[in-house]
Structure 1
């Protein structure tokens, strides 16, 4: 398991592969960040994700990977990659990239996305897909900066009915 530690003057950031002990903490992060950006059922978003509480098990499958980001020993973010369900074998999906405000602005989302795509390329994927919502403008800007291009429609069978922004990148 690869673990990277980033030290700053006051904070330690650790990026590492998810373990099953992390399930509750990363699910809490995802729910908290979703609520912060208004991506909740009361705002019309579909929030039921049957895998949210078992991410470790989901990402332990072949060609899947998920990393959590710890800030001073507390999980405060994460992101991963997996085969895109219902699509060609060479397409992966960048998934569940969520960061608490305490991690934002440190370049960690960029670093984690690059790491996930490098892992995906090593697993034989040649294209990386993602879906997001138009309200997540900073995320969209990051993805554009990383070379993702907007595409006209959804690929695969993600079940993300609320994600109107679809993007694809050649790895």
Structure 2
């Protein structure tokens, strides 16, 4: 039986075609779901804002300076998370997504823990993230893992900003 809790660090997703394709699918699902939750549903990837479409079409370039974490089931990417390159003593965790068929297995928590380990390895002082206020399960996960709400650095309505020392 395959261990569905495996987290693999992929630093250059462009080098592995399977990782690239799997990452693109996860990012597409993330962005399409987010647009729908914001009340701005679109029919497909082609209708997403340019910056999100660019991530999906070429994750290797979009996240070239970042650490991309993937949760794998065998060779299939079933979860992802991005740890941005350090900036002003901190980094950001973003794009946490686990395929709905693989939820409830600890993959999201594993990805966040690995992100914190990566941040510590990079020597950053704080890990930040922003999460939509309606994503209560994600907020609960972040709080369980030691993140606390902080003053917002983002002007978007309904966005909650959190941080943690790695």
Q: Say how many residue pairs are matched.
A: 152
Match for residue 7 of structure 2?
15
**8 Å contact from structure 1 (residues 131, 163) kept in 2:** no
5+ unaligned residues in a row in structure 2: which ranges?
A: 43-47
Q: Which has the higher helix share?
A: 2
State the superposition RMSD in angstroms.
Answer: 2.7
* 1:72 Cα offset (Å): 4.0
- Over 3 Å counting, the alpha-carbon distance change for 1:29 and 1:149 in structure 2 is same
* 1:78 Cα offset (Å): 0.8
Query: Aligned partners of 2:69, 2:41: CA distance in 1, in Å?
Result: 25
1:80 to 79, 82, 103: 82
Q: Map of 1:101-116 to 2, 5 A cutoff?
A: 101-116=100-115
TM-score of the pair, normalised by structure 2:
0.77
TM-score of the pair, normalised by structure 1:
0.75
Query: Aligned partners of 1:92, 1:129: CA distance in 2, in Å?
Result: 6
Match for residue 167 of structure 1?
162
- Over 3 Å counting, the alpha-carbon distance change for 1:42 and 1:149 in structure 2 is closer
